[in-house]
Structure 1
Amino acid sequence: MELLYLLFSIVFTSFTTLILSLILPFHALLRRLVSSRASSSSSSDEAEPISLYEGTVYHQRRHPVHHSFQYRVRYALIDIDRAPHAPPNHLSPDEARRITGTNGTILLLTIPPSVGYEQNPLSVYYCYDVEESATCLKKCIAEVTNTPWAERVTFIFNPHSDLVAKALHVSPFMDMLGSWNIKASDPGDYLSISISVHHPEFGNYFTASLKAKKLHSSSASDHAVFFWLMPHKVAVWIYWHAIKLWWKNVQFIQHPRYATPTYRDEALIRDRNLQCCGFSAERENKKDCLSSEASPRDRWFRWIDAKWPWS
């Protein structure tokens, strides 16, 4: 049944993309006329609320087979306090500040929707604190979305380095026992994000990274054209390499909601264990580690369920 839903989704998205892509040149021309008039009547030197980045996503799997790939990607870094039209279905800046306990700027790194379609495996909020006139990156919030279910888990992490229990069925070729070691640089002319999966049995067997450079050219001023089909390209890469893993006989793992409906609660327990005891193969799945040490404050997680037809 899920295969039929997937085929329906692909057909519907393809039709919508075609129609909106045909309209896109007219919208682009209209926006250019409006923006040229607005720029001629405005003398403000204030920095733009949206910065554009272009870079490379790299994946490497080392178990049970070796499989790696990379692809070019484009991202927007959005000051969501100042942007006139922030992407929908994301946290507001006030929500992000409340969740992280920060008081400064909130920047959102994401791939904006294009011609009716959105595909964002990972979006990151950079949450800044202002202390004695100095601004520093204090916390980050990750939004991880799985394909094709479009479920989402959102959680806080320390950008310098953090270990977070895997809390979402991100890939049908990975079980839920791994933990994410995640790190993010303070975005400037360059930015980087790295995630490695630590598993109690397989060790550090998967790595993903994003390295991107900020674009300063005015040739990318039309964001709709700049991001045209970017979400679609990401989706194609995800499905294509899923087929390759299946062809290599990597085990297909059913969504845990069928076999283990309490997988989210179990992820919370494993995350408390990680904060208290760190990672080790012996401690990863034990629930009694907390009893011998001070219990840490629970990490903030939020899940969003899949929408129809995946719900």
Structure 2
Amino acid sequence: MSPSIRPPRVPSLVEGVVSHTRRTPVTHRFRHRHHQWLVDLDDLPRLPWPLSVLARFDPADHLDGGHEEGGIRGDLDRFLASRGVALPAGARVLMLAHARSVGHVFDPLSVFWCIAPDGRLVATVLEVHNTYGGRHAYLVDVDDHGRAVVDKAFYVSPFNDVSGEYHVRLVLDEQRVAVAIRLTRDGQPILDASVSGRPRPATLRTILSTTARHALMTYRVTALIRWHGVRLWMRRLPVVPRPHRLEEAAR
């Protein structure tokens, strides 16, 4: 039986922390303040000018890039259909992601929860982006505790190849939204990454106060990823050459 969930009110801003621990062959940890949006794909926020500069959701930033009709929701429906999943009539799709802000967005991980009208979780999709312009979507089979395991199939970090498994733990309720992922290889943990925060309704006051606390959030995400990469490179962590094909889409 599919798990049942009670999501928070949307749109919401999920404010909390992002953390990362690399366990081998060197140990490297970080923890930063962070926020993302939780939105309904059928009712995306459309802020008036000039607030629209602070948050915009563009189909080009996700999945198949909006090349066909239906925006992000259309791309997701086609992705699921190609894998034998048909959402029931009236199903909602909630997306946890960064908004495009001040002309820039980078989403290391976006999560899509597909929820039936009776609250059952029908499907869950994880979309991973790398800093080379590529992205890949994983359809994951989540159990009653929000856990799933999926084979890694996409080059993300220059310090890891595409081998291993992702062990995923997801939380979506009225008090907390969280995603935790552990990469393992041959049963050994390689790294842990997580985002966690409390959802708050995206009122005008919340948007302005959160933006003030996390100025240029998407630029900071990009800069911090590169900064931590440089630190690992300086510690002589071996670099794994990336594949020639960089761009993937959810087709």
Q: TM-score, normalised by structure 1?
A: 0.62
User: Match for residue 215 of structure 1?
Assistant: 200
1:220 match: secondary structure: helix
CA contact (8 A) 2:9 2:174 kept: no
Q: What 5-or-longer segments of structure 2 have no aligned partner?
A: 1-7, 47-55, 64-71
2:156 match: secondary structure: coil
Does the alignment pair 1:56 with 2:17? yes
Q: Deviations over 1:173-199 (max 9, x none)?
A: 112212211221124221111111111
Q: Deviations over 1:67-102 (max 9, x none)?
A: 111111111001111225461123532443451422
More contact order relative to length (CA 8 Å, sep ≥ 6): 2
Separation in 1 of the partners of 2:207 and 2:224?
A: 26
Q: Deviations over 1:101-127 (max 9, x none)?
A: 222111111010111111110011110
Q: Deviations over 1:190-228 (max 9, x none)?
A: 11111111112x711211111111125842244994664
Separation in 2 of the partners of 1:51 and 1:240?
A: 29
Stretches (4+) displaced over 3 A: 221-228
Alignment of 1:175-194 (within 5 A): 175-194=161-180
Separation in 2 of the partners of 1:217 and 1:78?
A: 10
Separation in 2 of the partners of 1:185 and 1:138?
A: 15
User: Match for residue 87 of structure 2?
Assistant: 102
The percent of aligned pairs where both chains have the same amino acid is 27
User: Match for residue 126 of structure 2?
Assistant: 142
- Higher radius of gyration, 1 or 2: 1
Separation in 2 of the partners of 1:56 and 1:225?
A: 15
1:181 match: secondary structure: strand
1:215 match: secondary structure: strand
Does the alignment pair 1:233 with 2:220? yes
More strand as a share of residues = 2
Amino acid at match of 1:156: L
Separation in 2 of the partners of 1:80 and 1:116?
A: 21
User: Match for residue 125 of structure 1?
Assistant: 112
1:135 match: secondary structure: coil
Question: What is the number of residues matched between the two proteins?
Answer: 212
CA RMSD across the alignment:
2.7
Amino acid at match of 1:158: D
Separation in 2 of the partners of 1:183 and 1:106?
A: 18
Offset of residue 143 of structure 1: 1.1
Q: What 5-or-longer segments of structure 1 have no aligned partner?
A: 1-46, 265-301, 306-311
Alignment of 1:1-311 (within 5 A): 49-83=10-44, 85=46, 87-88=57-58, 89=60, 90=62, 92-97=72-77, 99=80, 100-103=85-88, 104-130=91-117, 134-147=118-131, 149-159=132-142, 160-200=146-186, 203-216=188-201, 218=203, 219-222=205-208, 225=211, 228-257=215-244, 303-304=248-249
2:125 match: secondary structure: strand
